[in-house]
């Protein structure tokens, strides 16, 4: 089989943050110390070799960057100070751009100005749309009830519409990920039963991020777990219990208690990440891509405006609550329709999917080996 070599791959990856690839001389220390690197996924060494040789197609079909949890042992042990953990992080950004059929991910990851510009444009359009809708049918002095400025049933329909768009975009990109990594490999024969049998891995790793626990340093796992569970809790409340969440001004503890805990979790996780990135002492926080800061800023904005809107409504300040609600939604929409499918949030979907696909690839490779032995 002929392999196409791309001499520009190293420079291309530099645009995604991989700046030290040329320092690597393939000693293998990084793979030797990695607790998550197991046959046949020998990262970071193998992925770095693909970059150095310009094997774009091999790299596009690799699951290894998603199996790396940036524990930081590899970067600490590198004799050339090549930061292989950061290279793997950069590869996750690059792969996200490869899976994305729209080209938006590539634009975001290679131009922070474009990302901020598009976020602001979508935010402004969202605010204008909700203000126009509110003034057309409600009273800006009323938060809930028959004359509500933004009635919960209308916002609920809008949320489900966004969820549909989000599911479609992520679904297409996830299908492309499957095709690049398993689907196009004709040597692998993975049965439908194997897909069904191993499907549990997706929700398991999505909700727990349990592979982080294999790292010697446990704090990144705890931070990701808090962030993940807080986000999922808020998503469930908004998608299924919006009417109870928005009703008031009395507090409905059956739903608001979960909202308070989730909001504290989101804000706490963001503050922790910001402090760590500003200190830049831990290896995994030493380098911050522009997309990392945009992600944290947008998440903090959404969490704080959400709790402020809630507090204003409970205090009976409906006009201020409605204005804050519009501001809050102007952050929610770009976060969901832009950041989730095209930027940092998409990693939440790709990583557990990669663990599922890695299991299928291993099973398929084992079957291939057995068939080859049978032929011999």
Summarised one tens digit per residue, pLDDT across range 275-311 is 989 998 877 788 889 999 999 999 999 999 999 999 9
**Are 20 and 57 found together in one domain?**
yes
Q: Give pTM, 2 decimals.
A: 0.88
Instruction: Summarize the confidence of residues 347-366 as an average pLDDT.
Output: 89
Residue 56 lies in a domain: yes
> Is 159 in contact with 238 (CB distance < 8 Å)?
yes
**Residue 146 reports pLDDT greater than 60:** yes
Residue 218 lies in a domain: yes
- 71-122, pLDDT tens digit by residue? 878 888 889 888 888 999 999 999 999 999 999 999 999 999 999 999 999 9
Angstrom distance (rounded) from CA 38 to CA 26: 17
- 120-132, pLDDT tens digit by residue? 999 999 999 999 9
**Are 110 and 83 found together in one domain?**
no
Angstrom distance (rounded) from CA 215 to CA 72: 8
- Mark which of 99, 129, 156 sits at the end of a domain: 99
Residue range of the domain that includes 325: 104-362
**Are 112 and 225 found together in one domain?**
yes
Residue 354 lies in a domain: yes
Count of structural domains within the chain? 2
Residue 3 lies in a domain: no
pLDDT classification of 1: cutoffs 50, 70, 90: very low
**CB neighbour list of residue 140: distance below 8 Å, 6 or more residues apart:** 134, 149, 319, 322, 323
Angstrom distance (rounded) from CA 358 to CA 42: 12
**Are 218 and 312 found together in one domain?**
yes
**Are 24 and 167 found together in one domain?**
no
- 165-219, pLDDT tens digit by residue? 999 999 999 999 999 999 998 888 888 999 999 999 999 998 888 887 777 765 6
Residue 21 lies in a domain: yes
**Are 93 and 218 found together in one domain?**
no
Angstrom distance (rounded) from CA 225 to CA 206: 10
Angstrom distance (rounded) from CA 233 to CA 189: 38
**Are 86 and 110 found together in one domain?**
no
- 315-343, pLDDT tens digit by residue? 999 999 999 999 999 999 999 899 989 99
**Are 327 and 267 found together in one domain?**
yes
């Amino acid at each position: 089989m002929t392999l196409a070599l791309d001499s520009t791959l190293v420079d291309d990856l530099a645009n995604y943050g991989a700046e030290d690839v040329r320092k690597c001389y393939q000693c293998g220390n990084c793979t030797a110390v990695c607790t998550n690197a197991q046959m046949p996924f020998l990262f970071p060494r193998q992925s770095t070799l693909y970059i150095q040789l310009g094997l774009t197609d091999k790299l596009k079909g690799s699951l290894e960057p998603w199996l790396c949890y940036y524990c930081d042992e590899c970067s600490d042990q590198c004799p050339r100070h090549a930061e292989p953990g950061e290279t793997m992080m950069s590869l996750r950004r690059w792969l996200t751009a490869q899976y994305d059929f729209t080209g938006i991910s590539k634009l975001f990851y290679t131009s922070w100005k474009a990302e901020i510009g598009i976020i602001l444009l979508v935010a402004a359009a969202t605010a204008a749309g909700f203000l126009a809708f509110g003034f057309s049918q409600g009273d800006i002095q009323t938060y809930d009830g028959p004359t509500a400025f933004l009635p919960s049933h209308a916002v609920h329909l809008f949320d489900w519409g966004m969820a549909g768009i989000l599911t479609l975009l992520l679904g297409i990109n996830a299908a492309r990920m499957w095709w690049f990594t398993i689907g196009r490999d004709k040597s692998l024969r993975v049965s439908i039963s194997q897909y069904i049998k191993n499907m549990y891995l997706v929700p398991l790793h999505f909700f727990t991020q349990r592979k982080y626990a294999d790292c010697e340093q446990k704090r990144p796992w705890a931070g990701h777990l808090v962030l993940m569970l807080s986000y999922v809790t808020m998503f469930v409340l908004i998608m299924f219990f919006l009417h109870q969440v928005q009703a008031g001004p009395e507090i409905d503890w059956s739903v608001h208690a979960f909202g308070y805990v989730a909001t504290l979790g989101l804000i706490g996780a963001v503050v922790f990440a910001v402090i760590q990135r500003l200190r830049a002492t831990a290896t995994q926080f030493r380098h911050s891509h522009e997309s990392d800061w945009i992600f944290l800023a947008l998440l903090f904005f959404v969490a704080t405006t959400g709790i402020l809107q809630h507090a204003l409504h409970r205090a009976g300040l409906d006009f201020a609550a409605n204005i804050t609600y519009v501001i809050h939604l102007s952050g929610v929409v770009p976060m969901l329709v832009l950041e989730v499918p095209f930027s940092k949030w998409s990693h939440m979907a790709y990583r557990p999917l990669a663990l599922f696909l890695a299991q299928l690839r291993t099973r398929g490779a084992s079957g291939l080996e057995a068939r080859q032995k049978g032929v011999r």
